[in-house]
Amino acid sequence: MTSPLLAVEHLAIGIPGGEGTVALVEDVSFTVRAGEAYGIVGESGCGKSTTIRAIIRLLAGRAGITSGSIRFDGQDLARADEATLRPLRGAGIGMIFQDPLTALNPVLTVGRQITEGLRYHGTVPSRERRARMQEVMRLVGLPDPARIAASYPHELSGGQRQRAAIAIALVCSPRLLLADEPTTALDVTIQAQILKLLSDLRHRLGMALILVTHDLGVVAQTCDRVAVMYSGRIVEEAPIARIFAAPRHPYTVALLNSIPRGTRAHHPLHPIAGMPPDPAERPRGCSFAPRCPNMQPACERAFPGWTAAAGGGGFACYHPAPGQAEASPDG
């Protein structure tokens, strides 16, 4: 088997606090193969953005990597210096940030922002930049490239702005695209178009994708495998079909039950009773225990170890839902 394009191992991210470091993300490990689409799903505040921002080392505020490694194409990005990271951002790894409205610069034309990466990395000669800009605008389905290139972000619709943000991320042909809630701000119809666009682009360009979302329906349409994050950890990982057919972690089950049946693909998640804990106030043991229907006294003593699941992936739970083979035929 070929080595993965990205291998995150035992990643921990923290912020210095009054009583020592507060862990935002703990012991996160996953791999993404070239061309693969990997989903990261979980409620707001579970550490999804923190995890993917760490990959390109753009953590906000005082947050920093405290341990673990992030191997991309043989290099450990967790320890890389700025000189190593600079050429990788954009050209090796592209990023679509959570809020496209704030991600775009309001005082620069869309064309200027799309070509910025080409200027920065100097990979395309200046006389070819315009052609490359138009090519990538066509690729993301922006009509009338000349007019839109001369426009400012506020002159575009929400869907066009998101396509522009994708064009900016793609202009240097990254091998891995990180997309943080790329459709959350959009209405349902546009959301479906953008997801289809991301899938098409991935196949056409042979690019790997990490898609972060709070919506399992979004992952279902787009990803090959999915990690479910809760309170700064991956609590379950599975091939996409298994997560819907036989979720093992009670949190995954709760996420699935919170999507109305029949219309799963198009509904945002309805919150599960209670909230994920604040990173500074995580309970001992399994942090889902206070909200978990399967909770037993042992759950509150230590975080459960990882159990591999049949068919790939696994879960961290003492009292998981039954697997496919164990489930009763009518259950």
**Contact assessment for residue 37 and residue 226, using Cβ atoms and an 8 Å cutoff:** no
CA proximity to 121, closest of 94, 95, 88, 149: 88
CA distances from 34 to 16, 112, 168, 174, 305 (A): 35, 30, 21, 11, 28
The Cα–Cα gap between 271 and 167 comes to 33
Q: Which does 83 bind (CB under 5 to 8 A by kind): Mg ion, ligand ADP, none?
A: none
Stretch that binds ligand ADP, among 37-45, 127-135, 307-315, 321-329 (CB under 6 A): 37-45
Q: Among 39, 47, 117, 145, which residue sits at the site for ligand ADP (rule: CB under 6 A)?
A: 47
Stretch that binds ligand ADP, among 31-39, 46-54, 75-83, 302-310 (CB under 6 A): 46-54
**Contact assessment for residue 115 and residue 133, using Cβ atoms and an 8 Å cutoff:** yes
Residue 77 is a binding residue for ligand ADP (CB under 6 A): no
Residue 106 is a binding residue for ligand ADP (CB under 6 A): no
The Cα–Cα gap between 30 and 10 comes to 9
Residue 279 is a binding residue for ligand ADP (CB under 6 A): yes
- The number of angstroms, rounded, from the C-alpha of 330 to the middle of its chain's C-alpha atoms is 34
Q: Which does 15 bind (CB under 5 to 8 A by kind): Mg ion, ligand ADP, none?
A: ligand ADP
CB of 60 to Mg ion, least distance (A): 11
Please give the residue ranges that form the binding site for Mg ion (CB under 5 A): 49
Q: State in Å, rounded, how far the first CA of the chain is from the last one.
A: 37
**Residue keyed to tokens 């991935």:** 202
Residue 255 is a binding residue for ligand ADP (CB under 6 A): no
Other C-beta atoms lying within 10 Å of the C-beta of residue 269: 20
* Torsion, CA 54, CA 56, CA 61, CA 64, rounded to 10: 40
CB of 282 to ligand ADP, least distance (A): 10
Q: Which strand (E) or helix (H) includes residue 68?
A: strand 64-72
Nearer to Mg ion, 49 or 183 (CB): 49
CB of 53 to Mg ion, least distance (A): 9
Residue 18 is a binding residue for ligand ADP (CB under 6 A): no
CB of 309 to Mg ion, least distance (A): 26
CB of 277 to ligand ADP, least distance (A): 9
Residue 49 is a binding residue for ligand ADP (CB under 6 A): yes
Residue 39 is a binding residue for ligand ADP (CB under 6 A): no
Nearer to Mg ion, 49 or 162 (CB): 49
CB of 194 to ligand ADP, least distance (A): 19
b/e map 122-155, b = 16+ CB within 10 Å: ebbeeeebbebbbebbebbbbeebeebbebebee
Q: Which residue's C-beta sits nearest to Mg ion?
A: 49
> Coil, strand, or helix at residue 321?
coil
**Residue keyed to tokens 């037993």:** 296
Residue 50 is a binding residue for ligand ADP (CB under 6 A): yes
Residue 60 is a binding residue for ligand ADP (CB under 6 A): yes
> What residues line the site for ligand ADP (CB under 6 A)?
15, 24, 42, 44-50, 60-61, 63, 278-279
